[in-house]
Structure 1
């Protein structure tokens, strides 16, 4: 258990509420699994795009 109202507590509460919404709607386990993977992939793609952008800028700066 996390200390009430700590950042960790809020994160766990948000995750619990999201999962409970899936369970309350009787969403198939495979759908939950695929939705989780999609969210992770989207975040990964965004992070990679930011990395590429920063790397491109760094290369340009180093050439000058």
Structure 2
């Protein structure tokens, strides 16, 4: 998924390269406060609740609602 696709896919069910599934919650630039490094990341909330995670948009693909 590209950065533009990620921004347009907020609220969509996605799966990452490791098989984790969740709802794409946010996509955009994020600055690590410990290093000052800024990168584009996506925030994904797991299906059924749990700890949100971040990843690169390239690691995600959209899932159909039936899955």
Provide TM-score, normalisation by structure 1: 0.16
More strand as a share of residues: 2
Structure with the larger RCO, 1 or 2 (CA within 8 Å, 6+ apart): 2
Provide TM-score, normalisation by structure 2: 0.16
Structure with larger Rg: 1
